[in-house]
């Protein structure tokens, strides 16, 4: 009976902690990208800028607008497009930041987005503008982050809406969904972004990668120190040990939070008096006992220390 109560209490705590995974946790890197996207959209609306002023395409090479390679992820033509892109980033890119840290995530964000925009602009230069068109938004870099994450995961199968498929096919499933639902999504650019994420996961951009030690030094500087101080937002450290402490905090239950089962010593054979009494369900000898004997385990040996539900055994 008491064992079932203990299991119920533990399951309730796991259910309580699992509810947090239904709603994605807002991290500092994703918050920074979202704020920059809203800021660019506000500037575009206030100054009534030309449509597609920061989009990438053949004009990057024809007009020498290389700054668009770094600006196009934060640029959105309409407000619904902005909201859908932010939702895709929030739900699909959080695992990458939790795996590498906030500093390295922002670096990878710029690296993946600029590389994808560069390859797409070169492809658009070879084609007619009317066929490919310009692209912008967070969808390409989000798909690149998903592709990079699947390259480093140990899971072989993925589940989406009850359907099981290989993990490597996950970016392509999201490619179909985002291209169909999010406006102004250009399919060739999204495909290139997935390939770029795959190439980075294979180590093709290892010379451009940021080390963990370098990221640890950068996160102590002023811009990232301000991100640490934002309440309600998780800043993921670059160090592996600190990252585990932040994302997987140790649970220290308070005394009395778990039901405790009391153990009483077994009776010892007494040649003078064999009368036994029951103490909380355990037989106990009425005569003097030389040494308390713990209850025998099911495997035939006596444990050195009794294990209780509220101690370190849980």
Q: Are 131 and 58 in contact (CB under 8 A)?
A: no
Looking at the 3D structure of the chain, how many domains does it have?
Answer: 1
Looking from the CA of 301 toward its CB, the CA atoms found within 13 Å total 3
Answer positive or negative: Cα dihedral of 190, 191, 195, 201. positive
**Residue 129 falls within a domain, yes or no?**
yes
**Residue 304 falls within a domain, yes or no?**
no
pLDDT digits (tens, 9 = 90+) for 62-87: 888 999 999 999 999 999 999 999 99
Q: Are 137 and 182 in contact (CB under 8 A)?
A: yes
Inform me whether the pLDDT recorded for 8 exceeds 50.
Answer: no
How do 157-160 and 163-166 pair as beta strands? antiparallel
Q: Which long-range contacts (CB under 8 A, 24 or more apart) does 279-282 make?
A: none
**Residue 270 falls within a domain, yes or no?**
no
Q: What is the structure's pLDDT at 84?
A: 95
**Segment among 28-32, 257-261, 280-284 with least mean pLDDT:** 280-284
The rounded distance, in Å, linking the Cα atoms of 5 and 11 is: 10
SS3 287: coil
In terms of residue numbers, what domain contains 76?
Answer: 24-239
pLDDT digits (tens, 9 = 90+) for 108-140: 999 999 999 999 999 988 886 544 568 999 999
**Residue 277 falls within a domain, yes or no?**
no
Q: Among 115, 72, 94, 59, which residue's Cα sits nearest to residue 236? A: 94
**Triad 130, 134, 139: Cα angle to 5°:** 135
Q: What six digits make up the tokens of 304?
A: 């050195």
Reported confidence tier of residue 301, pLDDT bands at 50, 70, 90: very low
**Residue 263 falls within a domain, yes or no?**
no
Q: What is the structure's pLDDT at 52?
A: 85
Q: Are 112 and 166 in contact (CB under 8 A)?
A: no
Q: What is the structure's pLDDT at 3?
A: 41
**Residue 247 falls within a domain, yes or no?**
no
Question: Torsions phi, psi of 133, nearest 5?
Answer: 85, 170
The rounded distance, in Å, linking the Cα atoms of 34 and 85 is: 9
Q: What six digits make up the tokens of 125?
A: 């230069």
pLDDT digits (tens, 9 = 90+) for 193-228: 999 999 999 989 888 889 889 998 999 888 888 888
**Segment among 96-100, 140-144, 251-255 with least mean pLDDT:** 251-255
Q: Which carries the bigger pLDDT value, residue 252 or residue 201?
A: 201
Burial class (CB in 10 A: 0-12, 13-18, 19+), 270: middle
Inform me whether the pLDDT recorded for 282 exceeds 60.
Answer: no
Looking from the CA of 57 toward its CB, the CA atoms found within 13 Å total 16
Q: What is the structure's pLDDT at 311?
A: 43
Q: What is the structure's pLDDT at 244?
A: 86
**Residue 297 falls within a domain, yes or no?**
no
How do 163-166 and 276-279 pair as beta strands? unpaired
**Residue 157 falls within a domain, yes or no?**
yes
Q: What is the structure's pLDDT at 214?
A: 92
Q: Which carries the bigger pLDDT value, residue 6 or residue 194?
A: 194
Q: Are 160 and 107 in contact (CB under 8 A)?
A: no
Q: What six digits make up the tokens of 75?
A: 């640029």
Range 96-104 average pLDDT = 92
Looking from the CA of 95 toward its CB, the CA atoms found within 13 Å total 16
Q: Are 284 and 265 in contact (CB under 8 A)?
A: yes
Question: CATH number of the domain that 120 lies in?
Answer: 1.20.1540
């Amino acid at each position: 009976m008491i064992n079932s109560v203990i299991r119920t209490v533990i399951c309730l705590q796991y259910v309580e902690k699992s509810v947090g995974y239904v709603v994605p946790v807002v991290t500092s890197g994703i918050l920074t990208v979202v704020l920059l996207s809203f800021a660019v959209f506000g500037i575009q609306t206030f100054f009534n800028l030309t449509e597609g002023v920061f989009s990438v395409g053949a004009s990057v090479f024809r007009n020498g607008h290389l700054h668009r390679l770094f600006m196009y992820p934060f640029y959105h033509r309409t407000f619904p497009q902005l909201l859908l892109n932010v939702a895709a980033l929030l739900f699909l890119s959080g695992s990458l930041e939790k795996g590498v840290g906030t500093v390295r995530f922002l670096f990878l964000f710029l690296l993946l987005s600029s590389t994808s925009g560069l390859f797409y602009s070169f492809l658009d230069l070879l084609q007619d503008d009317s066929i490919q068109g310009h692209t912008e938004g967070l969808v390409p870099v989000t798909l690149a982050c998903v592709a990079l994450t699947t390259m480093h995961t140990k899971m072989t199968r993925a589940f989406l809406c009850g359907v099981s498929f290989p993990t490597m096919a996950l970016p392509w499933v999201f490619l179909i969904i985002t291209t169909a639902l999010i406006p102004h999504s250009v399919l060739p650019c999204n495909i290139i972004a997935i390939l770029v994420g795959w190439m980075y996961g294979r180590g093709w951009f290892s010379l451009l990668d940021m080390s963990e030690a370098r990221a640890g030094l950068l996160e102590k500087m002023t811009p990232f120190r301000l991100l640490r101080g934002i309440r309600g937002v998780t800043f993921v450290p670059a160090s592996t040990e600190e990252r585990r402490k932040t994302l997987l905090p140790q649970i220290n239950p308070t005394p009395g939070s778990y039901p405790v089962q009391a153990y009483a010593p077994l009776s010892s054979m007494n040649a003078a008096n064999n009368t036994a009494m029951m103490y909380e369900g355990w037989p106990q000898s009425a005569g003097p006992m030389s040494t308390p004997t713990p209850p025998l385990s099911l495997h035939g040996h006596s444990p050195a220390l009794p294990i209780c539900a509220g101690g370190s055994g849980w």
